[in-house]
Amino acid sequence: MQKQLGLVTAVLAVLLAFATEGVAQATGGSVIGQALDQNGAVVPNVTVTLKNEATGQTLTTQTTGNGAFSFPNTLGGEYTVTATASGFQEATEKVKVLLNQESTVNVVLRPAGVSGVVEVTSGGETLVQTETSQVGRNFETRQVQDLPIFNDVRALALLSPNVVAQGVGVAGDGGSVGGTRPHANAFNVDGVDNNSPDLTGKQVNIIQDSISEVAILTNNFNAEFGTGAAGQFNTVTKSGTNSFHGSAFGYLQNRHLNATTTSEEFNLQSGVITEKPAFTDRRYGGTLGGPILKNRLFFFGAYQREPISQQASGVSYTAPTAAGLTQIAALSGASPFVVNLLRDNLVLPTTATETQTVLGTSGIPFGVVSLIT
Q: What domains are defined for the chain?
A: 29-121 (2.60.40.1120), 135-237 (2.170.130.10), 245-310 (no CATH), 315-372 (no CATH)
The pLDDT score that the predictor gives to residue 225 is 80
Give whole-number Cα distances, 168 to 165, 173, 182, 195, in Å: 9, 12, 12, 21
298 has pLDDT over 90: yes
Angle at CA of residue 304, ends 303 and 309, nearest 5°: 155
3 has pLDDT over 50: yes
The upper half-sphere exposure of residue 202, i.e. CA atoms within 13 Å in the direction of its Cβ, equals 19
238 has pLDDT over 80: yes
* Of the candidate ranges 96-100, 186-190, 322-326, the one whose mean pLDDT is the lowest: 322-326
The pLDDT score that the predictor gives to residue 200 is 66
Q: How confident is the model at residue 15 (pLDDT cuts 50, 70, 90)?
A: very low
- Give the integer Cα–Cα distance in Å for 101 and 30: 6
- Which positions ≥6 away from 181 have C-beta within 8 Å? 170, 171, 172, 230
The pLDDT score that the predictor gives to residue 58 is 94
Please say whether the beta carbons of 88 and 43 come within 8 A: yes
What is the C-alpha end-to-end distance of the chain, expressed in Å? 68
Q: How confident is the model at residue 304 (pLDDT cuts 50, 70, 90)?
A: very high
The pLDDT score that the predictor gives to residue 20 is 42
Q: How confident is the model at residue 68 (pLDDT cuts 50, 70, 90)?
A: very high
Angle at CA of residue 37, ends 31 and 42, nearest 5°: 65
Write the DSSP assignment of 28-97 as a string of letters.
SEEEEEEEEETTS-B--S-EEEEEETTT--EEEEE--TTSEEEEEEEPSEEEEEEEE-TTB-EEEEEEEE
- The rounded percent of the chain whose pLDDT value lies above 90 is 40
Please say whether the beta carbons of 329 and 340 come within 8 A: no
The pLDDT score that the predictor gives to residue 262 is 84
The pLDDT score that the predictor gives to residue 271 is 74
105 has pLDDT over 70: yes
* Of the candidate ranges 13-27, 121-135, 275-289, 319-333, the one whose mean pLDDT is the lowest: 13-27
Amino acid (1-letter code) at residue 362? S
Mean model confidence pLDDT for the chain: 81
More confident residue, 310 or 364: 310
287 has pLDDT over 90: yes
Relative to beta strand 353-359, strand 308-310 is: unpaired
Relative to beta strand 232-237, strand 245-254 is: unpaired
- Which positions ≥6 away from 152 have C-beta within 8 Å? 205
357 has pLDDT over 70: no
359 has pLDDT over 80: no
Mean pLDDT over residues 6-17, rounded?
A: 53
- Tell me how crowded residue 361 is: count the other CB atoms within 10 A of its CB: 6
Q: How confident is the model at residue 61 (pLDDT cuts 50, 70, 90)?
A: very high
The pLDDT score that the predictor gives to residue 119 is 54
State the SS3 of 159-201. Answer: HCCCEECCCCCCCCCCCEECCCCHHHCEEEECCEECECCCCCC
- Which positions ≥6 away from 193 have C-beta within 8 Å? 25, 187, 227
The pLDDT score that the predictor gives to residue 240 is 94
145 has pLDDT over 80: yes
362 has pLDDT over 70: no
The pLDDT score that the predictor gives to residue 367 is 61
pLDDT in tens, 245-273: 999 999 999 999 999 988 788 778 877 77
Mean pLDDT over residues 291-301, rounded?
A: 94
The pLDDT score that the predictor gives to residue 316 is 60
The upper half-sphere exposure of residue 197, i.e. CA atoms within 13 Å in the direction of its Cβ, equals 0
- Give the integer Cα–Cα distance in Å for 95 and 30: 11
Please say whether the beta carbons of 309 and 255 come within 8 A: no
